Amino acid sequence: MIKLLRLELRKILTYKTFWIIIGLYFLFLASGIILAELIVNSWVTDMNKHLPIPLPHVNIYFFPNIWQNLTFFASIRYILIFPAIIIIILITNEFTYKTIRQNVITGMSKKEFLLSKLLFILLLSLCITVILKLGIFILGITHSEVTSFSQIVTKSSFISVFFVLLFSFLIIAFFFGFIFRNTGLAIALFTLYVLIIEPIFSMVSKIPSLHLGGISHYLPVNAALNLVEYPYIPILKTIMGLHVQETGSLMDCSIPMLYSVVLIGIVFVVMNRKDL
């Protein structure tokens, strides 16, 4: 597996488009994290104009809630679309430039080819998660007054949940790339599904007369993104009455991981039956 991953990295690390998109991703991610508290407090300020008793401003960078708050902002679908596009481009380029045929001709099996892509997705998910974890730790240390070990590690399970969320999201991009094979078409359909189709279906499913219940929570993208559904901000519970998670649960990860297994299985079947 190390050999497959090394071959994959050799192709990717010299690819300028990869560095441009990953740079944009981290730029938007950092901007979102830095501006998150400002955005939330501007929202509180607007609410206070209509309340007899003003609500206090919030600090989202305090331990232990910073784990939940920043993994939520890092999980916004408009930000996650960037690493997903990287996966789609890297996969569809293999078909566009016929490099997949060359790999198979030189002795790599279809199974090994797919495994190399999955290993890269796993590595990319891990690298992003580690960088996010370091960023959260630094912001938490510099903004929290009390930094006991127990306070720091409480709710740190959200970072593990984020890893599963990101990996599952990228597997959906992996699926679109292999099924449609054309870069423009795959990116267009993936973006359409993630940013428009699922959100619209989620809104429609909440209409009482349709009796669809909570089916939207079980859609592929929503099942992943709902692992960190809301930031831990008290006004969400006291004013809006929302159910806010107290901790990240690995049990909740079962649905997106099941989707990942199914989508990977479909890709394996399609690849074995289709010509390259």
181 torsion bin: left (phi>0), alpha (psi -120 to 50), beta (else): left
Tokens read off for 241:
């009455």
Q: Which residues contact 35 (CB under 8 A, 6 or more apart)?
A: none
Domain extent, residue 169, equals: 2-273
Q: How confident is the model at residue 206 (pLDDT cuts 50, 70, 90)?
A: confident
Residue with tokens 């441009």: 20
**CA 29 from centre of chain:** 11
**Phi/psi at 12 (nearest 5 deg)?**
-80, -40
Instruction: Look at residue 32 in the predicted model and tell me its pLDDT.
Output: 85
pLDDT digits 0-9 by tens, 19-51:
999 999 999 999 888 888 887 778 777 777 776
What's the predicted TM-score (pTM) here? 0.92
Mean of pLDDT values over 207-228: 79
64 touches 154 (CB < 8 A) = yes
276 touches 100 (CB < 8 A) = yes
93 touches 80 (CB < 8 A) = no
Determine how many CB atoms are found less than 10 A away from the CB of residue 82.
17
128-133: long-range contacts at Cβ-Cβ below 8 A with a sequence spacing of 24 or more? 128/83, 128/166, 129/159, 129/162, 129/163, 129/166, 131/26, 132/29, 132/70, 132/71, 132/74, 132/159, 132/162, 133/159
Percent of the chain scoring above 70 in pLDDT = 91
Tokens read off for 250:
């690995």
Mean of pLDDT values over 156-185: 95
Domain count, the chain: 1
Measured CA to CA, the distance from residue 80 to residue 117 in angstroms comes to 18
Three-state DSSP class for 244? coil
